[in-house]
Structure 1
């Protein structure tokens, strides 16, 4: 019996020494990481990603406006050139008629007569009253025509100059709007750079916290196993068991449960939704590009509009307009092929593919990918396939 007690005492000493000799992990033991801290960091990352998507949407919208302004400026410049050509034509016509009128007066004066005397002679040489009235009418029309023509040409030239000044004023206004829009884009890009850095820092922190928590949990589990082994060794020694004392349970601490996934595993739609999703998956890995609408680069709404166009459905260009297409449904009632939106008006859009997942072009620096779908993170959804 003394030999048994001695062996048991040695066993307990070895177990105790193993626990004390456990090496420390990456982070100091006195500052353990909690699941709450990890959730807080993840919340910061979600906030940064949301801001990125909002800024991406603003840039895409401003690029659309910029293209419209460029088109208007081109049209305005063409109108200015056209008006200049009309002004030059009017000037030439005016000069030509002035020259003809001047030659006519010189011809009359070279004969020692003035124009009124010549017209009077034509009237007096008429044979009868009818001939007189005919000549008088013709002369009056000539004089009136000359006067109206010269006045009309002068008025047209002035009107064209006024139109040209107005066009130049409108062009200046368009160029000013373009400059203001460019300044707005530069501000957005600067904001994005700051958020990109903050997002990267938060992601690095999250990875560090997750690694530290995993080490803490592994260490806790190891210590629980050692404690269970020690308890089992104690229970195996008859002299150490007190009568009527309850046996150690040996149960290990409960492990925190993972966050439940959202969405339901909807069966694949063999029809248009299935074709749509298959097409969308072909572009996994395509980089996010502001204003991108082709497989060389997509923004969020450029991706959805391109994919839907492949099955014959034309969506509006930007996410806030796509939000008004089809039948609006609750984000918790989506089926494969439905559009899902964040924000109202929407600043981000993707395609629900079933199984609690959706495919989208996330934000700058990322690529088209599949992500977990949480209905609580989306404002609306739309069913276009029906």
Structure 2
């Protein structure tokens, strides 16, 4: 009987150990799909980075276009002012020419030449003193006429030269504006091509994830089936052992040993991030605009680009940031992307083409790109170039 008990016990133990020790291997298809998903995600990250860079270029070109428009307006005003001055100069010149002409006509109507008239006026002087007085007066009149005519002519020529220069500058500004518009159209065309490729990659990723989820579900079902078989084998082993003991003639003490396996959860280092009142305000304000659409050059709640959002949010707590991300990158205290605290600005690119606000818990809020909205995303320090701390205790 002891041999029979030993036989049942050993058989059950071997059966349970065999089932328990049977490893569950991930199928090669699953492993391959995980690699494909990782590669596709990297491809999507690259496309999104390119779109953000193009969005940044468009935002900068919009700012440049606004400056050119203002310069063109100023140039037009200068041209109008100069044209008005030219007209006034022409009127003054014509008026003086008319007076001079009338004086000559008056002298000639008496059948005398102006020089002869002036000579007679001098010769009719009563004495030498009167002679010199008249001579000086006549000389001053002639010199004044000549100087005035010459001065008016020179002023007219100078104004015409200034007008020509202004027109040339105006033409150059218009040319720059046209070139900028052409560049904007090219950027938008490039962006559309990348967006098409991004859509294809995202669809591919979804298919791969669906395939992986199906494979994982199958593997989970297999695992549960193995666990169920193992449980039944262990129950059968215990039943056989109990049956053998009951059949044993001699009483035996049965000792039940319960092996408790303590599974300790992996240690997670949670950083208790504290925020200052100002940082809390910045984060709370930024969250108000979640869902606002991305708009090129947008700086208001009607639509934001990435730097438009950050500048608008910080302005509400009394901090004026530069307009574009590359200029915002030079503000505040430079810190490592891995040492950020809530309220810090985080940048991609050098010079930066994208900016957001770190909000803690491994997340940041930003206006990602066209077609998207202001939202919270996972913050991965490895994907950011730099960070700046503009809030200080």
TM-score range, shorter chain: 0.7 to 0.9
Alignment pair present for 1:371 and 2:377: yes
C-alpha offsets along residues 256-303 of structure 1, whole Å, 9 cap, x if unaligned? Answer: xxxxx999551233x111111111111111000000000000000000
Which runs of 5 or more structure 1 residues have no equivalent in the other structure?
1-28, 242-260
Match of 1:316, SS state, is coil
Match of 1:34, SS state, is helix
Ranges of 4+ aligned residues in structure 1 off by more than 4 Å: 29-33, 231-238, 261-265
Q: In structure 1, how many angstroms separate the alpha carbons of the residues matched to 2:330 and 2:347?
A: 11
Q: In structure 1, how many angstroms separate the alpha carbons of the residues matched to 2:221 and 2:376?
A: 36
Q: In structure 2, how many angstroms separate the alpha carbons of the residues matched to 1:75 and 1:313?
A: 31
C-alpha offsets along residues 70-103 of structure 1, whole Å, 9 cap, x if unaligned? Answer: 1111111111111111111111111111111110
2:361 corresponds to: 355
Q: In structure 2, how many angstroms separate the alpha carbons of the residues matched to 1:130 and 1:212?
A: 120
Of 261, 266, 273, the residue aligned with 1:266 is 273
| 8 Å Cα contact 1:337/1:352 also seen in 2 | yes
C-alpha offsets along residues 196-254 of structure 1, whole Å, 9 cap, x if unaligned? Answer: 1211221222122112111111101211222343345456667xx9xxxxxxxxxxxxx
Q: How many residues align?
A: 337
Q: In structure 2, how many angstroms separate the alpha carbons of the residues matched to 1:264 and 1:366?
A: 30
Of 285, 294, 297, the residue aligned with 1:291 is 297
TM-score by length of 2: 0.82
How much does 1:119 deviate?
1.2
Match of 2:291, SS state, is coil
Q: In structure 1, how many angstroms separate the alpha carbons of the residues matched to 2:99 and 2:209?
A: 94
Q: In structure 2, how many angstroms separate the alpha carbons of the residues matched to 1:30 and 1:380?
A: 39
Q: How does 1:114-129 map to 2 (within 5 A)?
A: 114-129=113-128
TM-score by length of 1: 0.83
Q: How does 1:149-168 map to 2 (within 5 A)?
A: 149-168=148-167
1:323 corresponds to: 329
Q: In structure 1, how many angstroms separate the alpha carbons of the residues matched to 2:234 and 2:302?
A: 69
Of 374, 382, 386, the residue aligned with 1:380 is 386
1:95 corresponds to: 94
C-alpha offsets along residues 169-189 of structure 1, whole Å, 9 cap, x if unaligned? Answer: 111111111111001000100
How much does 1:309 deviate?
0.4
Q: How does 1:198-213 map to 2 (within 5 A)?
A: 198-213=197-212
Q: In structure 2, how many angstroms separate the alpha carbons of the residues matched to 1:210 and 1:191?
A: 29
How much does 1:67 deviate?
0.7
- Would the alpha carbon gap of residues 262 and 100 (structure 1) be closer, same or farther in structure 2, given more than 3 Å must change? farther
Q: How does 1:136-147 map to 2 (within 5 A)?
A: 136-147=135-146
Greater CA drift, 124-133 or 84-93? 124-133
| 8 Å Cα contact 1:349/1:360 also seen in 2 | yes
2:254 corresponds to: none
Match of 2:170, SS state, is helix
Q: In structure 1, how many angstroms separate the alpha carbons of the residues matched to 2:335 and 2:135?
A: 84
The answer to which structure, 1 or 2, has the higher relative contact order (CA under 8 A, 6+ apart) is 2
Q: How does 1:1-386 map to 2 (within 5 A)?
A: 32=30, 34-233=33-232, 264-269=271-276, 271-386=277-392
Q: In structure 1, how many angstroms separate the alpha carbons of the residues matched to 2:80 and 2:269?
A: 61
2:4 corresponds to: none
| 8 Å Cα contact 1:265/1:356 also seen in 2 | no
| 8 Å Cα contact 1:262/1:356 also seen in 2 | no
- Would the alpha carbon gap of residues 192 and 175 (structure 1) be closer, same or farther in structure 2, given more than 3 Å must change? same
How much does 1:30 deviate?
9.2
Which runs of 5 or more structure 2 residues have no equivalent in the other structure?
1-26, 241-267
- Would the alpha carbon gap of residues 139 and 262 (structure 1) be closer, same or farther in structure 2, given more than 3 Å must change? farther
Match of 2:347, SS state, is strand
How large is the Cα RMSD of the aligned pairs? 2.1
Q: In structure 1, how many angstroms separate the alpha carbons of the residues matched to 2:124 and 2:271?
A: 108
Q: In structure 1, how many angstroms separate the alpha carbons of the residues matched to 2:365 and 2:319?
A: 18
Q: In structure 1, how many angstroms separate the alpha carbons of the residues matched to 2:271 and 2:127?
A: 107
Match of 2:144, SS state, is helix
